[in-house]
């Protein structure tokens, strides 16, 4: 069923599974990109090219309004400065009184590869964050 991008948000969490999911405050847009190499294994048996899947990877992009006092944005900056990873979830969560759990989306560990601040005259200051996923992202609901 189709839904707006507004409900699929970026959350930072504290571990590869479980943990506390906190929205990356000021988020405007996000995107999540999965890729796979295609390794050519063509031979003379057919005129058509043949491939097998090679290395897989994923990247994510998020744009937020700059808030340097926000704990989540500070975590991202610290990860880039320190060369450490962050755990992120992009998608929808279910919140009840005791916890927040992912319901649809992708949970992953990532290196922060770029943080670009744009401070234009007459516009709200914004920050574009690029992440490169390390390892396999976990999809919710589980892939059948």
Partner 1 sequence: MADVYTSASTELFKWVVSTLTRQGVNVGGTAAYPRAEVSTLTENGPSDKDNSVRSSALVLESISDRSLGEAYDINATNLALLQDADDTLDNYRIVGVVEGTISTMEDMGEASLVLYRVINNLTIYVSEI
CB of 86 to partner 1, least distance (A): 19
Give the chain's end-to-end CA distance (angstroms, integer).
Answer: 18
Pairing of strands 126-140, 100-118: antiparallel
Which residues here bind partner 1, judged by CB under 8 A?
A: 6, 9, 23, 25-28, 64-65, 122, 124
CB of 99 to partner 1, least distance (A): 16
Between 65 and 140, CB nearer to partner 1: 65
CB of 23 to partner 1, least distance (A): 6
86 and 60 Cβ atoms separated by less than 8 Å? no
Between 23 and 140, CB nearer to partner 1: 23
Residues 9, 40: Cα–Cα separation, whole Å: 37
């Amino acid at each position: 069923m189709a839904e707006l991008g507004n409900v699929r948000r970026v959350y930072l969490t504290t571990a590869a599974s479980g943990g506390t999911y906190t929205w990356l405050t000021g988020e405007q847009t996000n995107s999540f990109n999965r890729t796979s190499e295609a390794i050519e294994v063509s031979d003379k048996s057919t005129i058509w090219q043949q491939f097998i899947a090679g290395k897989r990877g994923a990247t994510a992009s998020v744009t937020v309004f700059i808030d340097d006092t926000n704990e989540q944005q500070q975590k991202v900056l610290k990860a880039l400065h320190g060369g450490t990873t962050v755990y992120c979830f992009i998608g929808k969560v279910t919140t009840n009184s005791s916890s927040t759990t992912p319901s649809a989306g992708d949970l992953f560990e990532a290196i922060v590869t770029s943080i670009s601040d744009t401070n234009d005259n007459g516009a709200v200051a914004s920050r574009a964050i690029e992440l490169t996923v390390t390892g396999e992202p976990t999809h919710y609901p589980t892939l059948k």
